Structure 1
């Protein structure tokens, strides 16, 4: 299924809004329900205010009513496969089990696949928010 996701990610990557960096990124994920959701990076002149492709695909998934990621692909116009940034790794981990495969690809055909657990070992999750004796 990752070839279909890479194709979908590449199609949306071409629509990325990246006038400042010219670093276009596309992401496509398949939810456990079998639906494909896509996102692309959207830059902003106030640089930290941009949105990553992975975050856009996750937002599209949630907006469509799906809640869990079964597989995700990310593609960039780079010389080597680019992993999701730290914030996106945490976002992916919020909606994906540790064994979910993340395929990173380039527009020239290189790929690298890793699991969510490999990308984000020791991930922070809701269990870390439990406090002894209840809320503080």
Structure 2
């Protein structure tokens, strides 16, 4: 499924676990961390950041992607998402759609437990039949 090396996989997991340590989650107490690897080998970490106005909160995955994109990176190799849970937690719907904007569908996504156990899936498995840029452009052209 993935051509990610064991070393890179271990770093993805490690960095996602590290990222959740900086989570700002005083309302839910639900810490999430994300690690994102770009095509050129640059790493970005993200954590969830909550707000008293709940709609103003941002998830760890989007934090990592926004940091990367704001630095000019738009091609990604892998993503890992971790929490404090003993079972895997997957990205929310908004994050799934956000991640799919920057594909590809074959992007390896590691879902990581608090102790580092993980499940590997692809972006297409995470969000099958996603609404993509090309579809949106077709609607705008009509």
Q: TM-score range by the shorter chain?
A: over 0.9
Match of 2:135 among 120, 124, 128: 128
TM-score normalised to structure 1 length: 0.93
Shift of 1:45: 1.2
SS in 2 for 1:99: coil
Match of 2:78 among 71, 75, 78: 71
For residues 108 and 72 of structure 1, the distance between their equivalents in structure 2, rounded to whole angstroms, comes to 17
Question: Which deviations, in whole Å up to 9, do the C-alpha atoms of 1:33-55 show, x marking residues without a partner?
Answer: 11111110001111121000000
Are 2:38 and 1:41 aligned?
no
Q: Which has the higher strand share?
A: 1
For residues 101 and 13 of structure 1, the distance between their equivalents in structure 2, rounded to whole angstroms, comes to 20
* Count, aligned residues: 135
TM-score normalised to structure 2 length: 0.89
Q: Which runs of 5+ in 2 are unaligned?
A: 1-7
